[in-house]
Amino acid sequence: MAPLELRAPSLRFGLWLARRRVDGFEHATARLPRHVGEAGVEDRAIVLETNGRHAYTLIARDGSVGLRLTSEMSADSFLGQSVAVLMASRAYQQAGVPGLTTAR
């Protein structure tokens, strides 16, 4: 689990990335994927909920933090300053080194 202060920014970034994958999949195939994995999303914390032929919600949870990003929402506004917060975090910067952090 990510440090508490990184959970929301990490989930927001993950959902933003997933949104791009789902939208790309829909553009290429003219349909929504059945699950996020079909669109190439490997993050198991993210779930796709379809709300009609072209509408969907991406849902993610990390411990006590849960977020939802709908296809109708502005993904960039949803992301906000999350990338800046993650890039300023030493824990996030070390995430690629096993054992140093549990940040996403």
Contact (CB, 8 A) for 36 and 46 = yes
What was the pLDDT predicted at 99?
41
Q: Output the pLDDT for position 94.
A: 67
**Regions of the chain short of the pLDDT cut 50:** 97-104
How many Å apart are CA 90 and CA 68, to the nearest integer?
26
d(CA 83, CA 44): 20
pLDDT of res. 41? 93
pLDDT of residue 101: 36
Q: Specify the pLDDT at position 90.
A: 78
Q: In DSSP terms, which residues pair with 37 in a beta bridge?
A: none
pLDDT of residue 100: 41
Cβ-Cβ contacts under 8 Å for 65 (sequence gap 6 or more): 7, 8, 11
